[in-house]
Amino acid sequence: MAFEYLTNIPLDKAKKDYADILKDNGFMAKKETVPVPFSSGRVTASPVYASICAPHYPASAMDGIAVSASSTFGAGETTPVILDKSSFIVVDTGDPIPENMDAVIMIEDIVWLEDGSAKIFAPASPWQHIRQIGEDICAGEMILASNMKISPSAVGAMLAGGVMEVDVIKMPVVGIIPTGDEIVPPTPDPAPGDIIEFNSSIFSSMLRQWDAQPYTFPIIPDKFDEIKAAVEEALEKCDIVILNAGSSAGREDFSTEVIKSVGNVLYHGIAIKPGKPAILGYKNGKPILGVPGYPVSGILVIEQFLKPIIENWYNCSVTKDVYRKAVLSKTVVSGLKYEEFVRVRLGMVNGKLVASPLNRGSGVVSSFMKADGILEIPQGVEGYEAGEEVDIRLLREEKELANTLVAIGSHDPLLDEIMDMLHSVDNSLFMSSSHTGSMGGIMAVKRKETHIAGVHLLDENDGTYNFSYIKKFFPAGGVRLVECVERTQGLMLKEGNPLGINTISDLTKSGVRFVNRQKGSGTRILTDYLCKKENIDTSSIYGYGREEFTHTSVAAQIASDTADAGMGIYSAAKLYGLDFVPVCMEQYDLLIPDSAWDTPMVQKLIEILKSKEFHDRLTALGGYRLTDPGKVREHF
């Protein structure tokens, strides 16, 4: 059941060839006429010319009197002219100029006589103080060229120019066909083996951002005839077709066969990762895009191939790509054979934009949600070293990035609560946290890649937390240790504790499946320490090598019965309704480098730590003891 990739076409060549073959086969936008007031954001299909002038009549530009300029000729300081009241008309700014008049004299330049006539001391030149016809727009003038996005002020300019309707490019209708036997519609309660069909919702959302109209078909099972019928129906109803394969092996080959049976396949297999098995198909001028089932692959294929199709449809770009230089926090290795798209988190720390690669698994949709940018590694490049400067395509605004509190270090659900509070209190502030364990946090502070690091590192020698580690890693100081919380660590166990686990030693019992945390995490150090203290050979604990990265993911394994026990904090056990045997209280602190101390993000964080709301939220989570959060325990 091996994949057969027919081609490994470089991305740029694939894009160009696809655009060319579609064009050669008649790919072309449809047009429609819409009322101008509702045309903002649409794209013009042809040039728009004004049909009337704006203003369409000469209007007074001042408060004063409208006159015939020739009746004022000869007026001077010593030779005033008196205008009979039948020879002028009082006008306000904006009033039309009567037909036989061609100048306005300002109110302050007039001496009024008793009989209502006006005495003036200077001649008016023709058309003085008059807003000319067409000052804004002249009839016949091109207001907008074709293929231009209509702005709100362009709507105003068209209406001012007497244009009531405008030819615009119709939104392309994109049919999305989800396929796969195991695929089920979104549900809060899927059965094992069910794959939730959320790709069409992601793709639809992307399409709407690009001014395309998604049309999602019901899920089609893995049957050639049914898929073929759906594609044929989509070709009838839509301008562009997306065939979304399931994520199991071999599925894509089915798509190729279907596309070949109704139209043509240009390429199957593109030199990109993720997204390799993309299929570039078409029938006449209509694109049929075969998109792999894994969501991250799917998103990238849609972005790389469907977006250009829509841009060709509109003949104008639909998004803005902004690239910025960033320093890589970790070495990234990439294959030479393909162009790779790596999701990264970005943080502006100490004036430097730092990019940290996220989970590269193509099934991990949250990695895309968390991503602040994309590192595009060209084909033929092996990757980049940690510390190297690279170009990142931004997925978030630069200003947001500059106002984002970066947290790298030990995981605790309280960080999410801080994230929520920080943005609610000040909507210009954001937070992004990465869970690397306490030691990872200390290293990130050392490398100046984070504003704060959650740490809870036990010193085995004296049972103290954090101090000895910070002294060791920051001999020159320059960091503050800020008190956060004490939290209860313990054994998380299945509800009712069916295996009767009460101590660390019980983990070695036959039939007990343990799930551990990753090396370098404070919880792992604690677990190792507890085992050592009890003289337990960790190789006798089944699953000791099975590593998870957060308290919640350990709890999730136990709750779903793939493990019986794990070490973690009380709030995670509570969240999953697990039994809990407390083992110790530990100090969870925040390490903050001096360089970050005065940023608005950190100052707001300290405020939040001291707030009643923080106290209340943590009480609701459970298992925390708050003494004086936000206090600087020591300035090293």
Query: Where do we find the tokens 């800020």?
Result: 482
Q: Taking CB under 8 A as the criterion, which residues in 51-70 touch a copy of itself? A: 51-58, 63, 70
**In the window 274-303, what residues touch a copy of itself (CB under 8 A)?**
295, 299
* 591 touches 573 (CB < 8 A): no
Residues of this chain, 438-477, that bind a copy of itself according to CB under 8 A: none
Q: Is 478 an interacting residue with respect to a copy of itself (CB under 8 A)?
A: no
Question: Are 163 and 51 spatial neighbours (Cβ–Cβ below 8 Å)?
Answer: yes
- Are the C-beta atoms of 63 and 106 separated by less than 8 Å? yes
- SS3 of 273, please? strand
> Is residue 363 part of the contact set for a copy of itself (CB under 8 A)?
yes
Q: How far is the CB of 93 from a copy of itself (least distance, A)?
A: 5
Q: What is the dihedral of CA 415, 418, 420, 424, to 10 degrees?
A: -170
110 versus 479: smaller Cβ distance to a copy of itself: 110
Do residues 422 and 430 lie in contact, with contact meaning Cβ atoms separated by under 8 Å?
yes
Please identify which residue in the block is written with the tokens 């244009």: 163
- By C-beta, is 192 or 496 nearer to a copy of itself? 192
How are beta strands 323-328 and 264-268 bridged, if at all?
Answer: unpaired
Asked if 109 touches a copy of itself (CB under 8 A), the answer is no
How far is the C-alpha of 604 from the C-alpha of 429, rounded, in Å? 9
| Shortest Å distance, C-beta 488 to a copy of itself | 17
Bridge partners of residue 243, in order along the sequence: 177, 290
The distance of Cα 294 from the centroid of its chain, to the nearest Å, equals 19
Quick one: which of 205, 262, 217 has its CA closest to 244?
217
Residue 622 CB, shortest distance to a copy of itself, in Å, is 12
Pairwise CA distance, residues 444 & 446, whole Å: 5
Phi-psi region of 301 (alpha: psi -120 to 50; beta: other; left: phi over 0): alpha
Give the interface size with a copy of itself as a residue count (CB under 8 A): 130
Binding mask 322-361 for a copy of itself (x = CB under 8 A): ---------------------------------------x
Among 160, 173, 581, 626, binds a copy of itself (CB under 8 A): 160
Q: Binder to a copy of itself among 21, 138, 184, 229 (CB under 8 A)?
A: 138
> Residues 122, 369, 381, 620: which binds a copy of itself (CB under 8 A)?
369
We find the least distance from the C-beta atom of residue 346 to a copy of itself, in angstroms, to be: 15
Helices marked H in 163-250 = 199-209, 224-237
The minimum distance between CB 374 and a copy of itself, in angstroms, equals 12
Binding residues for a copy of itself restricted to 533-552, rule: CB under 8 A: 542-543, 545-546, 548, 550, 552
Subset of residues 68 to 107 that bind a copy of itself, contact rule: CB under 8 A: 70, 92-96, 99, 102
Phi and psi angles of residue 111, each rounded to the nearest 5 degrees, phi first: -105, 120
| 140 forms part of the interface with a copy of itself (CB under 8 A) | yes
Q: Which of residues 89, 139, 585, 626 is near a copy of itself by CB under 8 A?
A: 139
Please give the residues from 402 up to 421 whose contact with a copy of itself meets the rule CB under 8 A. 413, 416-417, 419-420
Q: Could you tell me the smallest distance in angstroms from the CB atom of residue 156 to a copy of itself?
A: 4
Q: What part of residues 572-601 is at the interface with a copy of itself (CB under 8 A)?
A: 572, 575-576
DSSP 24-89: HTT----EEEEEGGG-TT-BBSS-EE-SS-BSSS-EESSSEEEE-GGGGTT--SSS-EEE-TTS-E
For a copy of itself, the closer of residues 9 and 578 by Cβ is 578
| From 8, 25, 87, 146, residue interacting with a copy of itself (rule: CB under 8 A) | 146
117 scored as a contact of a copy of itself (CB under 8 A): no
Nearer to a copy of itself, 102 or 483 (CB): 102
| Rounded (10°) CA dihedral 217, 222, 226, 231 | 50
Smaller CB distance to a copy of itself: residue 6 or 142?
142
Backbone angles phi, psi at 282, to 5 degrees: -165, 155
Question: Using the rule CB under 8 A, which residue among 26, 74, 126, 498 binds a copy of itself?
Answer: 126
Could you say which residues in the range 199-258 bind a copy of itself, by CB under 8 A? 199-206, 208-209, 246-250
